[in-house]
């Protein structure tokens, strides 16, 4: 499980990174004024006051969204609270459970550890984006057929992790499925059904001509 966060954090090549943003705040010699606003000390880089927003353009499930976000907002927050895409779940909020997994350029990422501003210029897919109207996608259908859930809270993240795995490896073996799903935890312990469901999803995708 070591390196799990590195695998799921968004490694963006442009824009603001989470680590870079936090570092800039830490090194900006920031002091709080009596009014409670954050100001930069003389000679340091300007720091945005809490509540200030920046424009971003996000491509989510094939649809472009233009909105104003605070630089500190996570992609998870924006998806759920600003765009109403509540299929992506808040779990631990620390990149440990995988309930918030989405795809960024077809790779699984934890939305709770990805800033919304980091996602600009990338293709984001949520669990809602796997459906064709009211028709379930192959991974979703396989999870239903194999009863690969109990409480269901972690299921959207499990489905997105499986989708990301199959987009990169259409024919995974059992060990590769276990490794690909290792970043997602199921507190109900439904792994005995989840792993066969991923194998079934690979079969359904091949029959449907998806890759």
% of residues, the chain, pLDDT over 70: 75
H-state helical runs in the chain: 4-8, 18-26, 75-77, 138-145, 155-168, 174-180, 191-207
Tokens of 168: 């990169």
At residue 51, the pLDDT reads: 79
> Residue 168 in contact with residue 107, Cβ under 8 Å?
yes
Closest residue by Cα to residue 1 from 95, 73, 115: 95
Q: Which residue has the higher pLDDT, 68 or 34?
A: 68
Contact 110, 100 (CB under 8 A): yes
Residue closest to 161 by CA, chosen among 197, 115, 206, 203: 197
Flag whether pLDDT at 19 surpasses 50: no
Residue 152, phi-psi category: left (phi > 0), alpha (psi -120 to 50), beta (remainder): left
Q: Is the pLDDT of residue 22 over 90?
A: no
In tens, the pLDDT along 112-167 reads: 999 999 999 999 999 999 999 999 999 999 999 999 999 999 999 999 999 999 99
Residues β-bridged to residue 56:
67
**Which domains occur in the chain, in start order?**
4-129 (3.10.20.30), 131-207 (1.10.150.120)
The pLDDT score that the predictor gives to residue 59 is: 98
In Å, what is the CA distance from 150 to each residue of 16, 32, 34, 90, 189?
38, 47, 51, 17, 9
* Higher-scoring residue by pLDDT: 151, 26: 151
Supply 16's token pair. Answer: 């603001």
Q: 211: how many CB neighbours lie within 10 A of its CB? A: 8
Q: Could you tell me the end-to-end alpha-carbon distance of the chain, in angstroms, rounded to an integer?
A: 27
**What's the CA angle centered on 88, arms 184 and 77, to 5 degrees?**
115
| pLDDT tier at 48, thresholds 50, 70, 90 | low
């Amino acid at each position: 499980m070591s390196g799990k966060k590195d695998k799921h954090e968004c490694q963006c090549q442009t824009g603001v990174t989470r680590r870079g943003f936090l570092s800039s705040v830490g090194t900006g010699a920031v002091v709080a004024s009596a009014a409670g606003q954050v100001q930069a000390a003389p000679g340091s880089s300007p720091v945005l006051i809490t509540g200030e927003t920046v424009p971003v353009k996000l491509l989510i499930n094939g649809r472009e969204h233009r909105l104003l976000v605070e630089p500190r907002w996570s992609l998870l927050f924006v998806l759920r609270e600003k765009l109403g895409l509540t299929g992506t779940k808040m779990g631990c909020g620390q990149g440990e459970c995988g309930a918030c997994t989405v795809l960024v350029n077809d790779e699984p990422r934890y939305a709770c550890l990805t800033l919304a501003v980091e996602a600009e210029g990338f293709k984001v897919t949520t669990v809602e984006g796997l459906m064709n109207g009211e028709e379930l996608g192959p991974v979703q259908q396989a999870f239903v057929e194999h009863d690969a859930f109990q409480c269901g809270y972690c299921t959207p993240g499990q489905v997105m992790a499986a989708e990301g795995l199959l987009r990169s490896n259409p024919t995974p073996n059992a060990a590769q499925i276990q490794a690909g799903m290792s970043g997602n935890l199921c507190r109900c312990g439904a792994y005995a059904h989840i792993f066969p469901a991923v194998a079934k999803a690979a079969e359904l995708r091949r029959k449907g001509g998806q890759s």
